[in-house]
Amino acid sequence: MSPYEEQDRPGPQPVPAVLPRSYDSLSQQEVDSDQHRPSASSTPRINTVSYRNATIKAQIDTTMVVADVIRQLCANAHLGVQEPPALFALRDDENDELIDDGNLARKIEAGRNFKLTASPLIEAAEMVDKLCSREDRALKMATYTLQKLIREPVFTAEFLKRGGLNELLLIVHTFGGGNTLAYALTSCQNLLEGSNEGMEGLDGAFIARVVQILVTQERINVCRPATAILKRLVVSEAAPTRDTAAKTSAPSSKFGFEAVYEQICREPSFLPTLVQRLSSADATLCVNSLSLLNSLVEHATERLLDSLATELERLKTSSAVARLMDTNCRAELAASILEYQTNVVRIYKHRLLTSVSLSDKRHTAALTYIWKAACINEESVVRPQISQDPRSSAVLASGKHKWRRIGFTNENVAKDFARSGWLGVECCEAYVRRDPEGFATLLLEQINRSESKRCPWGRAAIEVVQILVEHWGIQSKSSARSDFTPFLLSFTRVHQLVLRFFFRIWAESGAATVDFERVSALVQSQVKVTLVDEATKSWLDIEKSFVESEYSAVRDRQMRELELEDDLENNSSVQALKAKLHRENWEFMRQQRVQCLLEGAWFRVAGNTRFGSGAAGANATIPGQATPNRKTGATNGTRAYPKPWRFYRLSPNKRLLHFCEADEPHAVRHGLDDLPRRIDLAQVNDLALQSCITVLGSMGEELPVSSAASTTNGSTNYQHRATTTISASSSSAGNYSFSLLRAPGDSIADLVATSASQYSEWVDGLSMLRGEGSAVNTQETAEYIQALTDIAVKIKLLDLTGEKVEIPAAIPQPGLPMSLDFFFAEL
């Protein structure tokens, strides 16, 4: 007997839970009397099931598994199924969705119609055979069907197991265009987006082929999936193979940014083509192209970020993106534009933090060009002996009056760019290249003035960079924006405009060298006013504001701003408001710090510390540990070091400090059950900061900590002093130590925090337990309170009453995402 015959051999079976049309003749009493009949639903669902030309109506038990449903359907004579049930699957008759145990009940309750089809395993085997065909029509039909099937995990696993990916990639490599190539690429896209299971079969040749397709093909249905594939490969990291996993835990670099960028560099026309497609009439292609550009910039390594950014700037990518802001772009395009802005800020920040070095060829070339374009008579420049370092340029050799004549503050010009970094050098070079003759004329005019009346070009250029960096928040931790800032994408162009305004205000105000900060303040005020709501303004509006604004008008506006600020600061009501808000924020920080104590934290242990116990008495000691005399240093027994870590937690009544010892930090349950020892805080009369204690290293060695501050009579005198770094197992723990004192020189507990934040939380938390008026011992807590107070005062002064604000009757609910290609940003 064959396995199929044994499987389908008839035997005693219960009344099936799949009731075909012929069961309608049964009486209600007969059906209800059957113990296998589901009784949960008073109005049973009837679903239609079809197979080839046969159709039946069936009542399916929602508690059954799909395999049992298929088995009973195959046994139904009305459908006429001759093959074994294992060869079949159940699908939604309307959208061909595969029915499994997860969605069967939902489909039944929705009243969907089903159909018996070939099993995904059978379909996978047949699909691989079809892909091996060399007939164009057969391949077109096969790849068309594959687009949807390859999203199903069961089908995909069998498809890959039978070598279907190799046949699919062969089609991608051999077909030069048409629908077959488009369907094959879409199948690859769906495979990559569904899981990582097929990525091991991809290599550099596949990446190179996709890059070539994007350059040579113009059909939208081909370019869309190709662009999506490259983006998926950029953001992916290859899983390690069995051979590499045995040698290293790091994944191989078959794909990822560097692998994709390597192939892009071999195709010079790729990036120009991608940027050109940003102006495509097809919104999806435009979104995919911009999304790929964002992925490249976002995942670019530090080593290649500069070269990629430079190439994108050469292609005027930012200008193309800025033009998209003027269109009525859809939500997904707007999100990609905002993401591009964030990536541009990342590039600016990277350049801002890149130090200028005369050993860098790019930096040397830019500074050399600026010096040569200045056309200053070099006979007046006294030069010392030029360094023989081949990396140096003779033009950049220090001179007595060389870089100062251009307006920098010292002859080592790299020091002047310490604040603005490589971004400052780029802006200076862009200014000179835009008008070299005008640059030389400007410097000549300044040289011909008396030294006290000269406007230093170099210093002014760097100052304008700082003004723009501050205005756009490039150095802020969060670079994400919710509004369009088109002129941010033209940083060097805006820099040129503002720098010319700087020189004009200097001349019109008759400023001298001592007035540099005053002129800078005027320029900063103009930048703030001009670039507000920049998305609603054109370049002509911006240019007109900087070119036509008169010095007197700018000065008057700034004076009004200063007067308003001074009036508010000196107003008695504002002072009273600030004092009130300061008290509220002090109380808020007190609650936050005390909450940190209630949660608890791990501390390093001091080797010569005595610990009191509220339960055992003030003079209780750790068993096996010597009790040293703090005045003589002598001990009264054999010394045994305690364990190197202790976990402290404040009791809910805030009267006891519970703790436990451990060799290594570990998770501690909530509550006090795991903390058997305790310190009565009523015995703590003083707090010593960064006291002279000894910390145990990993091998029991003593690690000294210097004293920096102490408290007397309950009043803390916080000082900043250099202290010895605590080091254990070659890791620096810092000088974050403090002691709980019963009396001067008598410590109940010595705590060594693991970080500055933990030190601030516990020192101020223990101090603030006394209530209002307690001292704030650390600068971190004081800065938090001051920052919260300043923000609260500004919010109160805005006096937002809501007048003339239209409140909508209902908030429109956005639609569901079009795909799963999104994530929640961490704001």
**Nearest by Cα to 749 from 627, 642, 620, 609:** 609
CA–CA gap between residue 140 and residue 1 (Å, rounded): 42
Q: Say which residues have a Cβ less than 8 Å from residue 265's Cβ, sequence separation at least 6.
A: none
Q: Which of 118, 148, 181 is the last residue of a domain?
A: 118
Residue 385 has pLDDT above 50, yes or no: no
Q: Tens of pLDDT along 77-97?
A: 888 888 888 889 999 888 888
How many domains does the chain fold into? 4
Angle, CA 79 vertex, CA 76 and CA 83 arms, to 5°: 80
Tell whether the model's pLDDT for residue 609 goes beyond 70.
no
Asked if the structure places residue 230 within a domain, the reply is: yes
Range scoring the smallest mean pLDDT among 237-251, 336-350, 359-373 = 237-251
The pLDDT value given to residue 134: 82
Which band of pLDDT confidence, cut at 50, 70 and 90, is reported for residue 213?
Answer: very high
Residue 825 lies in a domain: no
Range with the largest mean pLDDT of 239-253, 629-643, 744-758: 744-758
Write the pLDDT tens digit of every residue in 108-140. Answer: 888 889 999 989 999 999 999 999 988 889 999
What integer pLDDT is reported at residue 145 of this predicted model? 92
Q: What CATH number is associated with residue 8?
A: 3.10.20.90
* Alpha-helix runs per DSSP H in 510-571: 516-530, 539-548, 551-570
pLDDT of residue 519: 92
Instruction: Give the pLDDT band of residue 368 (cuts 50, 70, 90).
Output: very high
Contacts of 633 (CB under 8 A, 6+ apart): none
What angle is formed at CA 668 by the lines to CA 664 and CA 670, rounded to 5 degrees?
A: 165
Mean pLDDT value of segment 186-214: 86
Whether the Cβ atoms of residue 542 and residue 497 lie closer than 8 Å to each other: yes
**183 shares a domain with 106:** no
Is 654 inside any structural domain? yes
CB 696 within 8 A of CB 761: no
Residue with tokens 């054999």: 638
| Final residue before a domain boundary, out of 86, 118, 150 | 118
Please tell me the predicted confidence (pLDDT) of residue 371.
Answer: 92
* Digit-coded pLDDT (tens) for 150-167: 998 889 999 999 999 999
Helix (H, G, I), strand (E, B) or coil at 726: strand
Model pLDDT, residue 500: 95
Do 180 and 44 lie in one domain? The reply is no
Q: Is the pLDDT of residue 626 over 70?
A: no
Taking CA atoms, 629 is separated from 534, 564, 636, 805, in Å, by 70, 63, 8, 72
Q: Which residue did the predictor score with more confidence, 714 or 746?
A: 746
Averaged pLDDT of the chain: 78
Type of residue found at 759? Y
Average pLDDT, integer, range 518-539: 91
**In this structure, are residues 495 and 526 in contact, taking their beta carbons and an 8 Å threshold?**
no
| pLDDT-based confidence at residue 576 (cuts at 50, 70, 90) | confident
Phi, psi of 784 (to 5 degrees): -60, -45
- Give CA separation, 500 vs 468, 617, 750, in Å: 14, 76, 61
pLDDT band at 424 (very low <50, low <70, confident <90, very high): very high
Is the Cβ–Cβ distance between 422 and 354 less than 8 Å? yes
For residue 576, tell me if it sits in a domain: no
CA distance 736 to 691: 9
Within-domain flag for 740: yes
Give the pLDDT of residue 288. Answer: 86
Kindly state whether residues 377 and 344 are assigned to the same domain: no
Per the domain annotation, does 572 fall within a domain?
A: no
Are residues 114 and 133 located together in one domain of the fold? no
Q: Are residues 490 and 557 in the same domain?
A: yes
pLDDT band at residue 806, thresholds of 50, 70 and 90? Answer: low
Between 368-377, 435-444, 804-813, the lowest mean confidence (pLDDT) is in 804-813
**Domain annotation covers residue 662:** yes
Q: 617 versus 148: which is more confidently predicted?
A: 148
Encode pLDDT of 687-705 as tens digits: 888 643 433 333 333 333 3
| Whether the Cβ atoms of residue 70 and residue 51 lie closer than 8 Å to each other | no
Which residue, of 118, 150, 171, is where some domain finishes? 118
pLDDT at 749: 86
Q: Indicate the pLDDT class of residue 524, thresholds 50, 70 and 90.
A: very high
Is 802 inside any structural domain?
no
Q: Check whether residue 250 and residue 113 sit in a common domain.
A: no
One domain for residues 246 and 374: no
Task: Output b/e per residue, 31-68; b: 16+ Cβ within 10 A.
Answer: eeeeeebeeeeeebeebebebeeeebbbbbbbebebeb
Which amino acid type is present at position 2?
Answer: S
CB hemisphere CA count around 191 (13 angstroms):
28
Q: Above 80 in pLDDT, residue 447?
A: yes
pLDDT value at 463 more than 90 = yes
- For residues 194 and 152, the answer to whether their CB atoms sit within 8 Å is no
pLDDT of 639:
41
pLDDT of residue 285: 84
pLDDT in tens, 296-338: 999 988 888 889 999 999 999 999 999 888 776 667 788 889 9
Bigger pLDDT: 427 vs 476:
427
Q: Which domain holds residue 561?
A: 361-383+392-567
Of 16-25, 156-165, 259-268, 529-538, the range with the lowest mean pLDDT is: 16-25
pLDDT at 674: 87
List the beta bridge partners of residue 752: 604, 737
Has residue 199 got a pLDDT over 60? Answer: yes
CA proximity to 129, closest of 164, 156, 153: 164
Statement to judge: residues 422 and 334 lie in one domain: no
The model's confidence at residue 710, banded by pLDDT at 50, 70 and 90, is very low
Asked whether residue 709 carries a pLDDT value surpassing 70, the answer given is: no
Same domain, 420 and 301: no
Q: How do beta strands 693-696 and 686-689 pair?
A: unpaired
Exposure of 282 in the CB half-sphere (CA atoms within 13 A): 13
CATH number assigned to the domain comprising residue 144:
1.25.10.10
Does 165 lie in the same domain as 258? Answer: yes
Q: Which sign, positive or negative, has the C-alpha torsion 75, 78, 83, 88?
A: negative
Q: Which 3 state secondary structure label does DSSP give 424?
A: helix
Q: Are 110 and 179 contained in the same domain?
A: no
Tell me 721's DSSP state: -
- Does residue 322 share a domain with residue 203? yes
Calculate what percentage of the chain has a pLDDT beyond 70.
Answer: 75
**pLDDT at 614 exceeding the cut of 50:** no
CATH of the domain at 707: 2.30.29.30
